[in-house]
A = this chain, B = another copy of it.
């Protein structure tokens, strides 16, 4: 695989429209240079005052991924899975039920994802600079799409944030991890995710009274 040329041809707008969350990943390894490449794409996102408050930690060692996955799975089973399953209403649209099942799959198989990419960032006046980190995170998700890597965004690890941050060598107060992006070669196919029509949320000059 030529890392430098990987993913360079996918058109931007097509990529934006088809970068859906890929939560079912193959356990096969991913070249670390490719992870570096998608993180580098992340650094071109804007941040206030160009402060670039990000750090990227790609966890690849199997025993380290197993530990992180064990924390994640335990929390998920305790707090999230019951709610997700209770909400698996058969009247829900297929797409919504598929998403919920994929979230359960991810929690149960996180240890298999070959890369656990954490995005951490310096805090400002005690608060994480989310508005500077999420554009970079989105760039990373898009760059994964470009090079054919499956990825999704979760913040559920924050329930064990302090423990995980220390494990990663991060100061939980100064540079907490904000997002976990499990990355690997996808089992499924990229495609347009389910979204409501732009015409339900796009307004010219002002929001009409019956909507706002």
Residues in A lying within 8 Å of B, measured CB to CB: 7-19, 21, 32, 36, 39-41, 43-46, 48, 50, 52, 54-61, 64, 96, 99, 130-131, 134-135, 137-139, 141-143, 145-146, 152-153, 155, 167-171, 175, 192-196, 198, 201-209, 211-212
Instruction: Say yes or no: B57 contacts A44, CB within 8 Å.
Output: no
Report yes or no: B206 in contact with A169, Cβ–Cβ below 8 A. yes
7 A-B residue pairs with CB within 8 Å:
A7-B12, A10-B11, A11-B11, A13-B143, A16-B142, A40-B202, A142-B142
Q: Are A60 and B204 in contact (CB under 8 A)?
A: yes
Please classify the interface of chain A as helix (H, G, I), strand (E, B), loop, or mixed, using the class held by over half of its residues. mixed
Q: Which of B56, B131, B207 contacts A168 (CB 8 A)?
A: B207
Does A201 lie within 8 Å of B138, measured CB to CB?
A: no
CA distance A199 to B208 in the complex (A): 48
